[in-house]
Structure 1
Amino acid sequence: MSRLGIIAGGGALPVALAAADPTAHCVAFAGAEVALPEAQVERHRLERLGALFDALRAAGVSRVVMAGAMMRPELDHSALDPVMLSLMPRLAQAMQGGDDGLLRLVIALFEEQGFAVIGAHELLPDLTAEPGLLVGDQVTETTRGDIQRGRAILDALAPVDVGQGCVVAGGLCLGVETLQGTDALLDFVAATPDHLRGERRGVLIKRPKAGQDLRVDMPAIGPDTARRAARAGLEGIAIAAGGVVLLDRPELLTTLRDRGLFLLAEP
């Protein structure tokens, strides 16, 4: 089988992928924070993307998975190699839009170089959830109404590529995930005064954007998401079955259970 290349960002996902495939070739961009041991990671500058492609081919890599949190790049234009110089018009245009357009371009660039781009969930099927209630008591019809309201909000925002999550309580949207991420959303909700929230506790709805390529930037929740949701006073989390990564799954489920929150996966 062809060798796997892991383009690693922050968080636990690259570590899990590397543990599942010890022969994988792990790379990360200069300055990126990764949880993998530094000796296990080959560093490359984004300005020299041509050198990265050459290094992956030299290592026998033909399949690539992109995993972990990555920040938007700040490029040193004086250090661009010929490959990056040729790509700059496309990259500059993509960076004017949302993350989805930029990530689609990244996928296209790797595929144009002959690499097959695959999703982390294809390598680790247990990363996502089958439909059903994973933790907690039966979800009430009233709460399901909040979940449906959240889905409608996310569907409406998908064309403008805003976010993958929102919090709804009693039909009211208490917050929408933006560039700052889910943690910032939950912290914002936690700070919302009671008189604005009403009597309902609220639900975090987390789903991919409509039409999103799930090979990169699949939504994720983990134990810290559960802890922040509890601090925000929520009653649970609703995710897309097969469309959201469950980081540190055993700890995530235990944390939710201990704090009395439900986790529901819906088609």
Structure 2
Amino acid sequence: MSRIALIAGEGSLAPAIAAALDQPLVYALDNLKPQVEAKPFRLERLVPFLDELADQGVTQAVFAGAIRRPKIEPELFDARTLTIVPRILMGMQSGDDAALRAVLDVFEEAGISICSVDQILPELVPGEGVLSGEPSQRDQKDAARAAEIVAGLGALDIGQGAVVAQGLCLAVEALPGTQAMLEFAKLHAGLKPDPKGAGGVLYKAPKPGQDRRIDLPTIGPDTVTQAAEAGLAGIAWEAGSVILLDRAEALRRAQAAGLFLWARG
């Protein structure tokens, strides 16, 4: 019988995907603390892990949640995994997207196809439209500017988000993540030319050419709260390309804070 494996990362996406699947086999890198019960595995023993999946009848896998790079311990490599180490290390040196793509290639070569999150729960990835509030013309210009910046960052495999206020970039996303970016933007809110003008926009989108089966940008209720605390007017993202977790709660918080939520076409 064909089975699907859930490779769980941190955050609330993995539990949502697990609940939507029929008896998935759930695994996680042993340096992570997923919010779902998962059997740990190590990257240094990736090939034996793939053998285990094959023995369990797994033919598909879905990656869900945030993944932090594990600390590699060379003495733990088995002989077969050691043969693919150069490919994985080369990917890690090129950036997160390249590293993930290298791992996906290894899975597929083992006969395990990769499912995207929106194949399992399409409602998690909103199509074009304003979900809450209404972005002003200034907000729309800030979102357009932020989209240009994110496209430039993505081409260098740096991040998937930016904060723009009154045409000026206050912060960009890097390895520390979205919360750190918003805290930085809050710290430098005084740089806005007009203190009483537009509050600014958080914009998120995948990297150009990104493999969308894995590591799609994610927004959730906590993102809304953090954006409100940073004094922003709202959150915009590339329609059909960003995961919105717990939509009802995200909308509730956005409405309570007076923020707009916009899946931008």
Q: 1:179 matched to which residue of 2? A: 175
Task: Indicate which of 88, 97, 103 corresponds to 2:85.
Answer: 88
Task: Indicate which of 95, 98, 101 corresponds to 1:98.
Answer: 95
What amino acid does structure 1 have at the position aligned with 2:18?
A
**Which has the larger displacement, 86-95 or 226-235?**
86-95
Question: Conserved in 2, the CA contact under 8 Å of 1:100 and 1:212?
Answer: yes
Instruction: Give the Cα separation in 2 of the matches to 1:239 and 1:48.
Output: 37
**Cα shift readout 1:195-232 (whole Å, capped 9, x = no counterpart):** 44533200001111111111110000111100000000
Instruction: Give the Cα separation in 2 of the matches to 1:185 and 1:151.
Output: 16
Q: 2:239 matched to which residue of 1? A: 241
Instruction: Give the Cα separation in 2 of the matches to 1:83 and 1:48.
Output: 8
Question: How big is the shift at 1:193?
Answer: 4.5
Q: 1:119 matched to which residue of 2? A: 116
Instruction: Give the Cα separation in 2 of the matches to 1:168 and 1:116.
Output: 38
C-alpha spacing 1:195/1:130, structure 2 compared with 1 (3 Å): closer
Secondary structure of the residue aligned to 1:209 is coil
Q: 2:218 matched to which residue of 1? A: 220
Identical aligned residues as a percent: 43
Instruction: Give the Cα separation in 2 of the matches to 1:256 and 1:15.
Output: 23
Secondary structure of the residue aligned to 2:27 is strand
Question: How big is the shift at 1:46?
Answer: 1.7
Instruction: Give the Cα separation in 2 of the matches to 1:5 and 1:197.
Output: 50
What amino acid does structure 1 have at the position aligned with 2:59?
S
Q: 1:7 matched to which residue of 2? A: 7
The runs of at least 4 consecutive aligned structure 1 residues that moved more than 6 Å come to: none
Q: 2:56 matched to which residue of 1? A: 59
2:22 matches 1:25: no
Instruction: Give the Cα separation in 1 of the matches to 2:10 and 2:102.
Output: 21
Secondary structure of the residue aligned to 1:22 is coil
Q: 1:146 matched to which residue of 2? A: 142
Task: Indicate which of 131, 152, 172 corresponds to 2:128.
Answer: 131
**Cα shift readout 1:155-208 (whole Å, capped 9, x = no counterpart):** 222221111000111110001001111100000111115244533200001111
Structure 1 vs Structure 2 CA RMSD: 1.3
Secondary structure of the residue aligned to 1:73 is coil
Question: Conserved in 1, the CA contact under 8 Å of 2:166 and 2:192?
Answer: no
Unaligned ranges ≥5, structure 1:
none
Task: Indicate which of 156, 161, 167 corresponds to 1:160.
Answer: 156
Unaligned ranges ≥5, structure 2:
none
**Cα shift readout 1:36-86 (whole Å, capped 9, x = no counterpart):** 13xxx2221221111210111111110000111111121110010122200
Question: Conserved in 1, the CA contact under 8 Å of 2:204 and 2:237?
Answer: yes
Question: Conserved in 2, the CA contact under 8 Å of 1:63 and 1:117?
Answer: yes
Question: Conserved in 2, the CA contact under 8 Å of 1:50 and 1:82?
Answer: no
Question: Equivalent residues in 2 for 1:188-227 (5 A)?
Answer: 188-196=184-192, 198=194, 199-227=197-225
Instruction: Give the Cα separation in 1 of the matches to 2:184 and 2:193.
Output: 12
Scaled by the length of structure 2, the TM-score of the pair is: 0.96
Count of residues in Structure 1 that have an aligned counterpart in Structure 2:
263
